[in-house]
Each structure stands twice: as C-alpha cells, then as structure tokens.
Structure 1
Amino acid sequence: METLRQSRDQLLYAEVYISDMLSLKNIFLQTQTLKKLNQNFGVPFLLVKKKDRVVAFASLVINEKGEIAFKIYEDSLSDVEKRNFTLLAESYFRKNNTANFRNPEQLKSSISRMVGWLNIG
C-alpha cells in the first residue's frame, strides 16, 4: 500500500513511516491529554491526512484480553470519515500477516521499544 488513496473529500490514506511519528505522537498526546506516551500508543500502521496535515492514525494495541487489536486516534474527523477510516484499517488489519499483526509477544516488545524511543525526544 505504498501509494496514497484519496477519497472524494480530499482525505489521503497512507501507511505510516518513521517520518510521520512526530505528528502521530502529538495527536496521541493531545487526544489523551498526556505529557508522555504510554503503551496505549501502540504501533501505528495507517494514517489519514487532510491537506498535508495528519489528522488521524490507526495503531496496533494489546486489548484487555491480551489480544492484538487496533485503535483509532483522531483529532478532526467527522463521524463518516472516522467510520470509513475504521473500515479501511480493519481490512488492512485482517490482511496483514507480519509478526506485529499476529504475535502478541512481538507486538508488546515493539510497543515498548517504540514508546521508549519516542519518549526520549
């Protein structure tokens, strides 16, 4: 999914790259009213942009049952936009077979490393 997908309402959907992490960190901290990332940040895998500004992302997390799930963090999507992004993220989540998407222990390790790395700066 290297290419961006664009919807009629000018939303761009893309995979997350390392260069996106500062924007994602800021969305998470603002929406969760935190000063530092925690394990709920997860491992981001998809994002939404409006006019070159990241406005939402989907992140792999470990749910209360210890299973791999994803969570959407956003700061300015309408209900319809959020529902459409959730459906896209759900489809991507089901189709991906890499370790972070299928192995809870691997994902826990990846989350810990990512949160630690992003909290340094």
Structure 2
Amino acid sequence: METLRQTHNQPVYAEVYISDMPALKNLFLQTQTLKQLNQNFGVPFLLVRKKGEVVAFASLVINEKEEISFKIYENRLSDAEKRNFARHAENYFRKNNTANFRSPEQLKSSISRMVGWLNIG
C-alpha cells in the first residue's frame, strides 16, 4: 500500500472538538468583523487546518426557510481549497444523522447554548 506524504502546507480536514472552539470563535469574529458571536456562528462540525492553524470551518445553521443547512467561514483558502472543503462538508452533512443535523428545534437550542457559553469567555 502506498503512503501519501502530506506537506505542511496542505489543508487537513478534522471534526471539531471543544478544544477547537477558541480558534473557531476568533476566526468567526475576524471574518464577520464582530466583537461578539451571534446565531450565525451555529454549531461547528468540521474544520480545516493549514500549517497547524485553523483557517476554515463548517457550521450547522438554520437558514431563511427554517431548515438545517451549513455555512463555511474561512480565511486564506484558495478557490480550489474552498471547493474541496465545501464538497467534504456537504458529504459529511448528508451522512450524519444526529439530532443537530436533523432536528431544527434541537439545533436552535444547541446554537443558543453554544453562543451563550462562548460569549461568556
């Protein structure tokens, strides 16, 4: 089996963990030019690291039709990297069946709790 060698500059996709939240919060605030999180932050589920730094994340949100969708927040990804991450996030989104991915009411509650918790710190 051939091993693919990753360069330090290649994007690496990973699921979001609680320890990632400070970096995601900072990225969101920078890209949205805000001082505090709002409901648009959503519930992050997938991220991209480049050179060890978080440069993008996909977050579950409630869209205008009150349906669950996701939004990508990014900083310093090329157009090709954005497309690849969007495809990866879309596949992940379609395959996941947990409550936040399928129940708009559950997701609204999770977003409110997440944003409230992160705005305290």
TM-score band (shorter)?
A: over 0.9
The corresponding residue for 1:76 is 76
In the alignment, structure 1 residue 20 sits paired with structure 2 residue 20: yes
CA drift of 1:79 comes to 0.6
CA distance in 1, matches of 2:10, 2:69: 27
The corresponding residue for 1:38 is 38
| 5+ residue gaps, structure 1 | 1-5
The corresponding residue for 2:105 is 105
CA distance in 2, matches of 1:112, 1:69: 16
State percent identity of aligned pairs.
80
The one-character-per-residue Cα deviations of 1:9-56 (angstroms, maximum 9, x if unpaired) are 611100000000000000000000000000000000000000110000
TM-score normalized with structure 1 length: 0.93
CA distance in 2, matches of 1:85, 1:10: 12
The structure 1 segments of at least 4 consecutive aligned residues displaced by more than 6 Å after TM superposition are none
TM-score normalized with structure 2 length: 0.93
AA in 2 matched with 1:91: N
AA in 1 matched with 2:120: I
CA distance in 2, matches of 1:107, 1:73: 18
The corresponding residue for 2:91 is 91
| 5+ residue gaps, structure 2 | none
Cα RMSD (Å) = 1.3
Q: Secondary structure at the match of 2:36?
A: coil
The corresponding residue for 1:11 is 11
CA drift of 1:7 comes to 6.6
In the alignment, structure 1 residue 59 sits paired with structure 2 residue 59: yes
Question: Radius of gyration: which is bigger?
Answer: 2
The corresponding residue for 1:3 is none
